[in-house]
Homo-oligomer: A and B are copies of this chain.
Amino acid sequence: MSQHSNYFHAHHSPMGALASFTLGAQGEQGGLGLELGTPYPGNVHIGYQDDHGTIHQLPFFKGACSQSERYVQDAGANSSQEHILELSQRELKWSSDRFVAQNLELKILSPFFSIPEPEIANDGELKNACRPAVYAQLTVNNPSDHEWVGFFALQGEDLRWNAIQQPGQMVGVSAKDELGLASNSNNVSSFSHFSIASSLSGLGDTENFGLGPCAGLKFTIPAGQSKTIDIVLGVYKEGNATFNRKMQYYYTTHFANLNSVLIDAIENFDTALAVTRSKDLELEQSNLSPDQQFLVAHATHSYYGSTQWLVEAGKSVWVVNEGEYLMMNTLDLTVDMLFFELKLNPWTVKNTLEHFVNHYRYYDKIFSPEEPEQLLEGGVSFTHDMGVSNNWSSNGVSSYEISGLDRICFSHMTYEQLTNWVLCCGVYGHKTQDYNFLKRHQGVLKDCLQSLLNRDHPVADKRNGIMSFESSRTQGGGEITTYDSLDHSLGQARANIYLAGKAWASYLALEQIFTKLGDNISSVQAKNAALMSSELLSNSFDETLGFIPAVLENGNQSAIIPAVEALVYPYEMGLFDAVDEKGPYGAYVSTLKRHLQSVLDSGICLYPDGAWKLSSTADNSWASKIFLNQYVARQILGLDLSNNSQLADNAHVRWQQIGAAASACCDQFSSGKPIGSLYYPRCVSNILWMQE
């Protein structure tokens, strides 16, 4: 595998706790954080003090960039020497992360598995799934003939620590009754102090100094021996976790407090090891290349860091926070993470879709950009998100969208979110065969069909299959797509071929759903619309350009990869005919294949190193979307990417390991440097690769 660096941050997170033990980048801040859009701004100290007094530690604290030894002097303490340990190996696997250095090995386990559906599963399964803990094993090998002292500690300026002393059960430290770490290994003791150096060099004899921001575990390694200690890291936030609508963390229904989380984690350490091993193995035994395996693993780690399993009046509420932005259940992320969630936790998809129906659905008017004053019947759509930073937006309102903007960032995404909700229903309905869900929302789904048709044109005769009308919510402005920070090639909604593809796929989804529901009139209506949009799109191929221009107006000449993106939905709905060059939409599919082949072959949608460039006219390329489109290209369109695949994967690994080293998995890259969507959950779209 083309590992570019051993030093990059990764999330290590429980499922649904919106928490992460983030570490791995050299000389950067990290640690155990709750509800953050960034790595916790603290330091992690892991290492050992040898018999000469030298402190050897991994470079997981601010400023630890030098390999050289240095002397530190603490007030009143003996001087001691510090040595930064260099990683000889770093292995990020699907469910674990391993760090190897001189005389030291650290393994962090973030077990994940299918969360049973809360309404029907038993308590034991649910408790096991929601336990807000991650696990670590630290081994120090002492080849000397004197005793050494190992340590594992967290530091944070705002943290003041309590010792946890439960003899025979665990020792550890906790801060704010909210985060902590503990061990039940033999001969481990806990401490808190100003720093590792002040604790080890004995500024005072007090092990647990109340003012010390640095705390953790210490253990002795006898001469000539190796010692491994098990460590659990837990979080716990009691009471109301969200605002506007009060909800609690689901884990509070199974755990009374932080200490009960830590004890339970210790008792289940072996299970965590086994689950982790089996997940690691599952990815290793896939057909994926080492680069691809890394990208899937990294994405998965960051996905769980953004997940938040809440409870409102006894009912589970699933939230995926939007990485650094912390927007809640952003619908244009939901549709990309859909495949991952359907593989692991289909109930979370249902949960989110119904949450949108109940709280974040709205009905608007529409207008033609030529006649912005004349408002016509629009229809249903859904908000961009449900709130931000644990703050639920009011019903029918997102935190992101503002009115009065014309096709720039923060404008409304009415049309795209409408397709997103429909597409999620389509794939969810097919994969789960949850007929009751579709039946329950038949009315809304009919509204969706009408809304899609109206936004094409309120007058049936004037429709051409794609969006031409804008939402009144823009107040005379213009809608955008999820690609909000790109130029109009992907950013503007109207007449955009990326979004038109999603419209086509939405019609196919509705056709399938209404067929199942026995509403043949709607089913036929949807099919006709799908035919119309596919016809328009396949007729829009520009022979001179050699591709379909991104926006079908104003002479736009941008080439975009995501023209093909929407093929994934019918394919995942089992509509293989629809994506077959010989099927009913064959002309469209062939045109898309030609389009993609052309923009890749010509290099206008590639970076010089083979990385994918979503738009020929924007140096802003999104990893999550690249992964999705790679799947479409290989698996659905059957493109031969053998000349590019290895190069591209290699480059995309480099984006994450080098470019985004300090921010865990990131999405938006400009020439390999992350420029937005840091610390992001969306890249799990690459779970699709495991189906190839």
- A interface list, Cβ under 8 A from B: 75-76, 158, 160, 162, 175-177, 202-206, 209-211, 238-240, 243-244, 325, 327, 387-391, 393-394, 397-405, 408-411, 475
Pairs of residues from A and B, 9 with the lowest C-beta to C-beta distance, nearest first: A210-B399, A205-B404, A204-B402, A206-B402, A239-B239, A204-B404, A205-B403, A177-B243, A160-B389
Cα–Cα distance between A204 and B403 once the two chains are bound (Å): 5
Q: Can you report 15 residue pairs joining A to B where beta carbons are below 8 Å apart?
A: A75-B409, A160-B399, A175-B391, A177-B243, A177-B244, A203-B405, A203-B410, A204-B402, A204-B404, A204-B411, A206-B403, A209-B402, A210-B393, A211-B388, A238-B240
Cα–Cα distance between A177 and B242 once the two chains are bound (Å): 9
Structural contact, A162 and B402, CB atoms closer than 8 A? no
Enumerate chain B residues within 8 angstroms of A401, measured Cβ to Cβ.
206
Enumerate chain B residues within 8 angstroms of A203, measured Cβ to Cβ.
402, 405, 410
Cα–Cα distance between A210 and B390 once the two chains are bound (Å): 12
* Known contacts A76-B408, A243-B176, A398-B210; is-contact A389 B158 (Cβ 8 Å): yes
Structural contact, B76 and A405, CB atoms closer than 8 A? yes
Structural contact, B204 and A391, CB atoms closer than 8 A? no
Enumerate chain B residues within 8 angstroms of A162, measured Cβ to Cβ.
243-244, 391, 394
Structural contact, A404 and B206, CB atoms closer than 8 A? yes
Structural contact, B405 and A204, CB atoms closer than 8 A? yes
Structural contact, B160 and A202, CB atoms closer than 8 A? no
Structural contact, A391 and B244, CB atoms closer than 8 A? no
Enumerate chain B residues within 8 angstroms of A410, measured Cβ to Cβ.
203-204, 209, 211
* Known contacts A76-B405, A475-B205; is-contact A210 B176 (Cβ 8 Å): no
Enumerate chain B residues within 8 angstroms of A240, measured Cβ to Cβ.
177, 238-239
- The winner among A176, A391, A409, A475 for most chain B CB atoms within 10 A is A391
Structural contact, A400 and B238, CB atoms closer than 8 A? no
Structural contact, B397 and A210, CB atoms closer than 8 A? yes
Cα–Cα distance between A400 and B160 once the two chains are bound (Å): 11
Enumerate chain B residues within 8 angstroms of A397, measured Cβ to Cβ.
210
Enumerate chain B residues within 8 angstroms of A206, measured Cβ to Cβ.
401-404
Cα–Cα distance between A204 and B401 once the two chains are bound (Å): 9
Cα–Cα distance between A327 and B210 once the two chains are bound (Å): 10
Cα–Cα distance between A114 and B546 once the two chains are bound (Å): 82
- Sample of 17 more A-B contacts, CB < 8 Å, known A160-B391, A209-B410: A160-B399, A162-B394, A203-B405, A204-B403, A204-B411, A206-B402, A206-B403, A206-B404, A209-B399, A209-B402, A210-B387, A210-B388, A210-B391, A210-B393, A210-B400, A211-B400, A239-B239
Cα–Cα distance between A408 and B203 once the two chains are bound (Å): 11
Enumerate chain B residues within 8 angstroms of A405, measured Cβ to Cβ.
76, 203-204
Q: Which of B75, B202, B388 contacts A404 (CB 8 A)?
A: B202
Cα–Cα distance between A209 and B327 once the two chains are bound (Å): 13
Cα–Cα distance between A175 and B240 once the two chains are bound (Å): 14
- The winner among A204, A209, A409 for most chain B CB atoms within 10 A is A204
Cα–Cα distance between A539 and B493 once the two chains are bound (Å): 91
Enumerate chain B residues within 8 angstroms of A327, measured Cβ to Cβ.
211
Closest to A387 in B: B210
Enumerate chain B residues within 8 angstroms of A238, measured Cβ to Cβ.
239-240
Closest to A206 in B: B402
Enumerate chain B residues within 8 angstroms of A404, measured Cβ to Cβ.
202, 204-206
User: A341 CB to closest chain B CB, in angstroms?
Assistant: 24
Enumerate chain B residues within 8 angstroms of A403, measured Cβ to Cβ.
204-206
User: A197 CB to closest chain B CB, in angstroms?
Assistant: 15
Enumerate chain B residues within 8 angstroms of A158, measured Cβ to Cβ.
389
Closest to A408 in B: B76
Closest to A475 in B: B205
Enumerate chain B residues within 8 angstroms of A402, measured Cβ to Cβ.
203-206, 209
Cα–Cα distance between A158 and B211 once the two chains are bound (Å): 25
User: A488 CB to closest chain B CB, in angstroms?
Assistant: 14
Closest to A393 in B: B210
Cα–Cα distance between A372 and B209 once the two chains are bound (Å): 23
Enumerate chain B residues within 8 angstroms of A175, measured Cβ to Cβ.
391
- The winner among A158, A175, A399 for most chain B CB atoms within 10 A is A399
User: A474 CB to closest chain B CB, in angstroms?
Assistant: 9
Closest to A76 in B: B408
Enumerate chain B residues within 8 angstroms of A202, measured Cβ to Cβ.
404
Structural contact, B211 and A176, CB atoms closer than 8 A? no
Closest to A401 in B: B206
Structural contact, B391 and A176, CB atoms closer than 8 A? yes
User: A647 CB to closest chain B CB, in angstroms?
Assistant: 36
Closest to A202 in B: B404
- The winner among A76, A158, A475 for most chain B CB atoms within 10 A is A76
* Known contacts A205-B403, A402-B209; is-contact A388 B243 (Cβ 8 Å): no
Enumerate chain B residues within 8 angstroms of A394, measured Cβ to Cβ.
162
Enumerate chain B residues within 8 angstroms of A388, measured Cβ to Cβ.
160, 210-211
